[in-house]
Amino acid sequence: MSPSVLICDDSNMARKQVLRSLPEQWKTSVQTATNGAEALTILRDNSIDVLFLDLTMPGIDGIGVLQGIQKLKLKCSVFVISADIQPEMQSKVKALGAKEFLRKPVKPEVLTNHLQQHGLL
Amino acid sequence: MSEFHLTEDQQDCLQELINVAMGQASDQLARYLDTFVYLKVPSIESVDAKDLMNTLSQQKNTMAVVSQGFFGYEGIRGEALLVYQEEDSGRIADLLGYEPDELSQDEQLIDISSILTTTFLNVFARQIDNQMSYNAPKLLPSAKENLSEHLQQMPFSWDLALKVNINYQVTDYSFNCNMILLIPETAITNIKHVLDRILAEF
C-alpha cells in the first residue's frame, strides 16, 4: 500500500519538484495544496500519511499548518521543504513536530534517504 | 512583469529560483549578524530603463546605493544595485552592533550589501547552471546626479531592470531595501531559455 501524500507549496514549480522526487510507487496517491488553509482543510477531511510542506506562503504559512496539525492531533508525518534554511527555523519546525527539514530545491536521492530513515520506505 | 513577457509558468519558475536564492542570502546575513532574520517572500517586478531613472530620482529618502557588477557565462551579466532608505540608516548601524569607531557606516553598508548580493546571485546562478564572478562593490554618493551618471556609465547597455523588493526583519529591527538587477537584453533572452529548459524537465 502506498501512503496518501499531500504536497503544500504556493509555487507550482516547487510542487512539481517534490512530486518528481517521490518514490515511483507513491506517485499514484498525491494531493496538492497551494496554501496553508487549503492544506489544513485537506488534512482534516482526508487521512493523509505524509505531508511535504513549504514554509513561506501567503496567508497561513507552514508554521501555521504545523500548529494546526498539533491542535487537530493529526498523525501525519511532516517533511518541511523550504528555502528558509536558517538553523533557528530548522529547530523551530522540529519542535513543532516536523520529522525533517529539507532545503530547497529538493533532490530525489535526499528525499528518499530521509523517507528511509523514518521507516516510511 | 509585463516587460519581460514571461508566461505564467516562467514567472512561477523565476519566483521560485529567487525565493531559494533569497533564503540562502538571509541565512548568510543571519550568520553574519548572529541573529535570526525573518524574510518575507520577495516581490519581483521588471522596469524599463527610463522608468527606473524616474523612480530612482523621485525617491526622496534614498540614503545610499551600493553597486556591484556580476558576470556569468552565456551573456548573463549585469549590475546589482542595493538601494537603502534614509530612515533605515540608524537601524542598520544598531543592527550591526559596531562601535562608532570600528567601521564607518559606509563600510558597514558595503559589507551587508556584498553578502546579500553575492550569496543571492551565487545561488541563483547555481540553479541555472551558471557561475558568477564579481567586481568590487562600490558605494555611490547619494546625490541624485551621481546615481543617474553611474547608471549611464555602465559598461554594457541595459534594457530592463529586474527589481526585487526585499524586506528583512531582524528581531527588533526591520529594514527595507530594494535589490535592482540591471541586465542587458541578451541576458534576459538567455534567462528565458534557461527557464524553459527547467520547465521542460517537469
Task: Give the chain A residue whose CA is nearest to the CA of B22.
Answer: A83
Residues of A whose CB is below 8 A from B39: 56, 84
What is the spatial distance between Cα B120 and Cα A80, in angstroms, rounded to a whole number? 22
Q: Assign residue A21 the CATH number of its domain.
A: 3.40.50.2300
Q: Is A28 in the B-facing interface, judged by CB distances under 8 Å?
A: no
Angle at B78 between CA B177 and CA B72, to 5 degrees: 120
Per residue in B119-138, pLDDT (tens digit) is 999 999 999 989 999 999 99
Q: Chain B contact for A95, CB < 8 A?
A: no
Closest chain B C-alpha to A20 CA, distance in angstroms: 7
Q: Is the separation of the CB atoms in B78 and B158 below 8 Å?
A: yes
CA distance B144 to chain A (A): 35
How much is the ipTM here? 0.85
CA A74 distance to own-chain centroid: 14
**Strand B43-48 to B138-140 pairing:** unpaired
CATH of residue B141's domain is 3.40.1550.10
- Its domain, for residue A13, covers 5-117
The DSSP H or E segment spanning A11 is none
The C-alpha atoms of residue B28 and residue B8 are separated, in whole angstroms, by 30
Query: What is the total count of domains within chain B?
Result: 1
> What digits encode the pLDDT tens for the residues B82-126?
888 766 666 666 666 665 566 677 787 888 889 999 999 999 999
DSSP SS3 for B163: strand
Across the interface, do B199 and A13 touch by the CB < 8 Å criterion? yes
Query: Please, which residues bridge with residue A50 across strands?
Result: A5, A77
- Span B11-28, average pLDDT: 92
Total domains in the fold of chain A: 1
Q: Are strands B77-85 and B62-71 parallel, antiparallel or unpaired?
A: antiparallel
Locate all alpha helices (DSSP H) within chain B, ordered by sequence.
Answer: 8-33, 49-58, 89-96, 105-127, 144-152, 185-200
Q: Residue B58 belongs to what domain range?
A: 2-200
Cα distance between residue B157 and residue B117, in whole Å: 21
